[in-house]
Amino acid sequence: MTVQKKKSIAKAEVESPESAVKLYLLDANIPVHDPAAIIRFHEHDIFIPTVLLEELDGLKNVSGEVGRNSRQALQLIEQLQNLAGPDYDIKNGIPISLLSSVILSDSEQQIAPTGRLYFQDFSVPKLTDIFKKDIPDNEYIAVAHHLKTVLGKNVVIISNDRNMRVKARVLNIARQPYKNDQVVEDIQLLYRGTYELPDNFVATAEIIRTWKEADFQHYVITTTLGKDWRINEFLYSKNIVGTNVTEDQYMVLERDANTIHIRTIHDFTKTSIWGIFAKSREQNFALNALTDPDIDFVTLAGQAGSGKTLLALAAAIYCILEKNQYTEIIFTREIIPLGKDPGSLPGTEEKKMAPWLGGLYNNLEVLAESGEKKKGDAVTDKYMQKKKMPNPYIDNIVAIKSLSFMQGCSLLRRIFIVDETQNLTAKQAKELITRSGEGSKVIFLGNLAQTANPYLSATSSGLAHAVDRSKFYDHGSHITLIGVKRSRLAEFAANYM
């Protein structure tokens, strides 16, 4: 399988009319986000202001990914200095290509930088007549201003901080966000996991073979439409017979150069999963993916109220209690705190996470009410009746975990649900997925329109990376849920307020 390599921000610049080599001044949030950022700018030069080194030094002992990335960025910079030797001339910069002996390539692109790395070895007057506060952001702006106006450099500030870019524009300094980690330029181009077929598709397709197996009708077909279809992609087509219009739905199972194997899917608009019916085409696709034992990685994207958490929990409970395919649900989410960090809250790990998991508890209540409809069901009595389970999140079937304590875990025969994954970095998403052990299923949920991490965008988030990469995985599936199904009031508010 060949994955098309992405263009970095620097490469995109080279292809523009003003293709002169640029001097990219990095804000601290860039190496904190991508420790190897200095190798990603091809023939362009990198400038490291002193304030960046000081900020990385202040962050290196912070727990979690921020501290780890800060340490890695400092280590890479020191490695480059060591490779240059003790006698290098700081004013001439260090060839970044020296790092080819340390990093030859990564999963995103071939690493072949030809630029140089420069360090600040001069003092810069502060712009106190323009920016009053003595803060790091203003130091970056002052250094860039000096490089441009005094030293005549073609400088560009690279920052994911919008306010930094606004300030740079005030002084007419070129500025850009870091785009190297973007999956696509426009979020509308992200893989959606569904494909609309022409009307009466199967009736008009060239069918090589067809057969029925269990509840599914299988077809092996040839079609020019399928050249871009992915394994486990969902297809739908209007079936028009006279004045009667229905919809046929399929999923792609296999494909080769000449043929494609598709089959029909369950109709969960008529058959419930733990009392939950699909309310839309996309919800039906989602429940099919969530309950398919051959699919071990599912990503669901959609706005608040589209049903992501409810569908994932209903399918997980069904797969555990009725199909005995897994042993436990592990639920976690990324936390972007507005007040106290959960580590400073008292109590156990579950109690620390409790204030952030209102959506989980609300959905468990809905499922408890759905489960109570099965009168006399021992499984329902044991796990789901609210009278016997006043704290459903503590029950044996659902375990609450903090992302901070997931490192080193190996989840065997678990369903691992990660909510709010639009706030994860691509690296965090990868680390979580690698926690999955034999017989486990990982479910990523998120709303790409509500990225709360200040240094991520919809196109660079961990969810976007997971969606884009998993389309090449034969045991993965993605569905973009459409609309708000929570209530008619919620739908009205989402659409008109």
Choose among 204, 50, 46: nearest CA to 120. Answer: 50
In this prediction the pTM is: 0.77
Question: What per-residue confidence (pLDDT) applies to 58?
Answer: 93
Burial of residue 186 (CB within 10 Å: 0-12, 13-18, 19+) is exposed
Domains and CATH numbers, the chain: 9-176 (3.40.50.1010), 188-264 (2.40.30), 281-496 (3.40.50.300)
Question: What per-residue confidence (pLDDT) applies to 3?
Answer: 38
Residues linked to residue 249 through DSSP beta bridges, in sequence order: 236
Cα dihedral across residues 468, 478, 481, 198: positive or negative = positive
Alpha helices in 134-177 (DSSP H): 136-149, 162-170
- Residue written as tokens 């989840």? 411
Question: What per-residue confidence (pLDDT) applies to 4?
Answer: 39
What are the residues whose beta carbons fall under 8 Å from the beta carbon of 267, sequence distance 6 or more?
Answer: 249, 284
**Which conformational region is residue 58 in: left (phi greater than 0), alpha (psi within -120 to 50 degrees), or beta?**
alpha
315 near 462, Cβ under 8 Å?
Answer: no
Helices and strands, number each (H, E), in the chain: 15, 18
Q: How far apart are CA 135 and CA 282, in angstroms?
A: 48
Over its length of 497 residues, how does the chain's per-residue pLDDT go in tens digits? 333 333 333 333 333 334 478 999 999 999 988 888 888 888 899 999 999 999 999 999 887 778 888 999 999 999 999 988 888 888 889 998 888 656 544 444 556 788 999 999 999 998 888 888 889 999 999 999 999 999 999 999 999 888 999 999 999 999 998 887 777 777 888 899 999 999 888 888 889 999 999 889 999 999 888 888 999 999 999 888 878 888 999 999 998 878 999 999 999 999 888 888 999 999 999 999 999 999 999 999 998 888 898 999 999 988 988 889 998 888 887 765 433 455 555 555 555 555 555 567 677 776 766 654 444 444 444 444 433 343 443 356 787 777 766 666 778 899 999 988 998 888 888 888 888 889 999 999 999 888 887 778 888 888 999 999 989 999 999 999 988 877 778 777 777 77
Cα dihedral across residues 169, 174, 177, 183: positive or negative = positive
Q: How far apart are CA 117 and CA 44, in angstroms?
A: 9
How many residues make up the chain in this entry?
497
Question: What per-residue confidence (pLDDT) applies to 241?
Answer: 80
